[in-house]
Amino acid sequence: MTTAPPGGLAVATRGLTKRFGSRTAVDHVDIAIPAGSVCGFVGPNGAGKTTTIRMLLGLIRPTEGTGTVFGHPLTHPADYLSRVGALVEAPAFYPTLSGRANLLVLARLGGIDPGRVDPALERVGLAERSGDAFKHYSLGMKQRLGIAAALLPDPSLLVLDEPANGLDPAGIVEVRRLMRSFADEGITVFVSSHLLGEIEHICDHLLMIQEGRLVFQGPVDDLFASQIAELLARPEQPEQAAALITLVEQAGHRARVAVEEPPGTVAVDADASWAADLNRLAAAAGITLVHLSERPRRLEEAFFALTGSANGDVGAGAPRGAL
């Protein structure tokens, strides 16, 4: 495997744009993905993630703009695709062939050493089930076989489009583990998802896209450093939450009922330095707090703050906190 020089860029674009008729799917996007990073590409369904990935893989041509992958222009994908492994949307395999046989077919078609098939299956935890027909695989096993296929060329860049779609919690944890292990070996991992809850735990770089435009790009730590921390305060009597919110807002801080927290919990836009003042303010009003702690904003909340969205979920119908 050949990796890019340390500190270099695996992917760079300038003004990358794709229009379908009168609809602009990707709108003048400038991307810079550091080599060796795990870069998350997040946004709602239909935001332009898959279209961007298809342009990077040479599957569709940009309407405008330029870009490179490992220094090679997007106009000549044959110069870099041998260094790229990809899983785009649902993996497609012959249903009656075994997992191993499917990968052997792909290896032969791609001019890849068949000896890479068994290590790829071992890597994704399918070695013991490699002889089973693909049609008998669970959804999680099918996704892992797709990742194994992406590993066949011994890639320097691994592109995974929604790899956690449909997976149960155990499958999601396994995909996370795999992505971090790939990065530990120097592979650049570019993973798209509309499931934001824990992507900050596996990514060190982040792209956020909405309606075809980037709204954030940079290290994950930079995103959270720019966000206001929250205090979580829970009155002994949950019905006092409304009164607590009023008190907090009168003191000049924003407050609201905290979602996904015990009943009566109030979220306050303030850090730990204001916790003692909040406790005194509540006590003076006859409100006893049984819980008071600081919680940094989560990725969903950072996304909503950047985009002005009030929606509680980036992907319609998607479970929160999956990837």
Length of the chain equals 323
d(CA 121, CA 130): 7
| Residue (of 198, 179, 216) closest to 32 by Cα position | 216
**Both tokens of residue 150?**
């992406």
**CA distances from residue 32 to 97, 160, 216, 291 in whole angstroms, order as listed:** 39, 17, 12, 42
Range list of H helices, the chain: 49-56, 99-109, 117-123, 139-151, 169-184, 220-225, 241-250, 275-284, 299-307
Average pLDDT score, the chain: 89
pLDDT (0 to 100) of residue 133: 98
Backbone angles phi, psi at 203, to 5 degrees: -105, 145
**How are beta strands 157-161 and 188-193 bridged, if at all?**
parallel
Considering the entire predicted model, what is its pTM? Answer: 0.78
Contacts of 35 (CB under 8 A, 6+ apart): 3, 4, 5, 6, 7, 8, 9, 10, 70, 156, 188
**Both tokens of residue 188?**
């650049």
Q: Which residues of the chain have pLDDT under 50?
A: 1-6, 310-313, 315-323
pLDDT (0 to 100) of residue 58: 97
**CA distances from residue 21 to 14, 65, 194, 243, 290 in whole angstroms, order as listed:** 21, 17, 25, 53, 57
Stretch (H or E) spanning 160: strand 157-161
d(CA 99, CA 121): 8
d(CA 107, CA 101): 10
Q: How far apart are the first and last CA of the chain?
A: 27
CATH of domain 9-225: 3.40.50.300
CATH of domain 230-295: 3.30.70
pLDDT (0 to 100) of residue 318: 36
pLDDT (0 to 100) of residue 1: 46
d(CA 294, CA 227): 13
Are the C-beta atoms of residues 166 and 90 closer than 8 Å to each other? no
**How are beta strands 32-34 and 38-42 bridged, if at all?**
unpaired
Domain coordinates in residue numbering, the chain: 9-225, 230-295
Over residues 159-200, the pLDDT tens digits come to 999 888 777 888 888 888 888 899 899 999 999 987 776 577
C-alpha 175 chain-centroid distance: 12
| Residue (of 54, 58, 5) closest to 26 by Cα position | 54
